[in-house]
Amino acid sequence: MSVTVIGLGPMGQAMAAAYLRAGYEVTVWNRSPAKADDLVTQGARRAGSVEEALTANDLVVLSLTDYDAMYAILAQAPAAALAGRTVVNLTSDTPDRAREAAAWLAERGAVQVTGGVQVPPPGIGTPGASTYYSGPEDVIEKHRSALEVLTGIEYVGADPGLAALYYQIGIDMFWTGLAGYLHGQAVAEANGISAERFLPHAVKTMNFQYFLEFYAPRIAAGDHRGDVDRLAMGVASLEHVVHTARASGVDPALPAAVLDVFRRGVAAGHGQDSLTSLVGVLKDQRAG
């Protein structure tokens, strides 16, 4: 029933507060000490150094901007301070960097559990919240009760990079989808349609569940038949979107970028195939 939280941005603060509410003894550290003030008022203990924070507990939760910040902070303590610790690294970065960090921590006697939190700070400690976790399953099980104070556990495998991979895929879809919403709303407002008025239409349009459930088994089977949708039809549709945005005085760069991908798919011979054929087209760009 004790834990150290390093990194007190909005997410770290929400996590430390959740532990305090659950009755844990919580030690906190942040580069700007004042960010711990409210937590200290709630009962947290402010560590005077990174070393003190690490050695206070066997379980250490990191919530930092990226792994550069992690290295910069942990390097302030001697390597011995990490020995025997379980470091739950909820810092966002790439899968490769998560694997490198796990190896770096292992060299210092610590075990990394990689996590990718799937909710914003207000979702910490609420029912239905979830976090991708990867790393040694026995270590995750050992600390299950502590991890579940924050969110539910979605274990994705032993590879320390997997949680970061699942997280980044989700963030890819999240930002791309929200950018599409904002672009559509910009066009709506340019034509006198308020966000409140368009909201029910936006919610309905952004519900992709039917399409995801229809497409996923086809993608898995390599079945890109154009029996329901065709890429050439998508090109024509996106051209209309670009023209509408431009006529509304809205920057068309976002839909134009998607149109470019569709056109590359047609040029690759997929004009009569489904939109799902773009998975192969996008994968073919890896060498470039």
Tens digit of pLDDT for each residue in 5-38?
A: 999 999 999 999 999 999 999 999 999 999 999 9
Q: Are residues 213 and 267 in the same domain?
A: yes
Domain range enclosing 263? 167-283
Q: Are residues 152 and 188 in the same domain?
A: no
Amino acid sitting at position 167: Y
How many domains are there within the chain? Answer: 2
Q: Are residues 177 and 109 in the same domain?
A: no
Share of the chain above pLDDT 90, in %: 98
Q: Are residues 106 and 136 in the same domain?
A: yes
Q: Is 274 within the bounds of a domain?
A: yes
In whole angstroms, give the CA distance from residue 218 to residue 244.
Answer: 32
Angle at 211 between CA 205 and CA 216, to 5 degrees: 150
**H-only helix segments in 151-252:** 162-190, 195-205, 209-221, 231-247
pLDDT averaged over the chain?
96
Q: Are residues 137 and 210 in the same domain?
A: no
Q: Are residues 123 and 183 in the same domain?
A: no
Final residue in a domain of this structure, among 130, 160, 190: 160
In whole angstroms, give the CA distance from residue 81 to residue 77.
Answer: 6
Final residue in a domain of this structure, among 96, 128, 160: 160
Q: Give the pLDDT of residue 286.
A: 57
Amino acid sitting at position 228: V
- Is 218 strand, coil or helix? helix
Q: Are residues 131 and 251 in the same domain?
A: no
- Return the CATH number at 233: 1.10.1040.10
Q: Is the pLDDT of residue 287 over 80?
A: no
Q: Are residues 109 and 151 in the same domain?
A: yes
* In the block, residue with structure tokens 């001697």: 78
- Return the CATH number at 32: 3.40.50.720
Q: Burial level of 84, CB count in 10 A (0-12/13-18/19+)?
A: exposed
Q: Give the pLDDT of residue 70.
A: 95
Q: Are residues 142 and 259 in the same domain?
A: no
Q: Are residues 156 and 23 in the same domain?
A: yes
Q: Is 288 within the bounds of a domain?
A: no
Q: Which pLDDT band, with edges at 50, 70 and 90, does 284 fall under?
A: confident
Q: Burial level of 216, CB count in 10 A (0-12/13-18/19+)?
A: exposed
In whole angstroms, give the CA distance from residue 182 to residue 199.
Answer: 11
Q: Are residues 29 and 152 in the same domain?
A: yes
Residues 109-125 have a mean pLDDT of 96
pTM of the model: 0.89
Angle at 121 between CA 211 and CA 37, to 5 degrees: 170
Final residue in a domain of this structure, among 119, 145, 160: 160
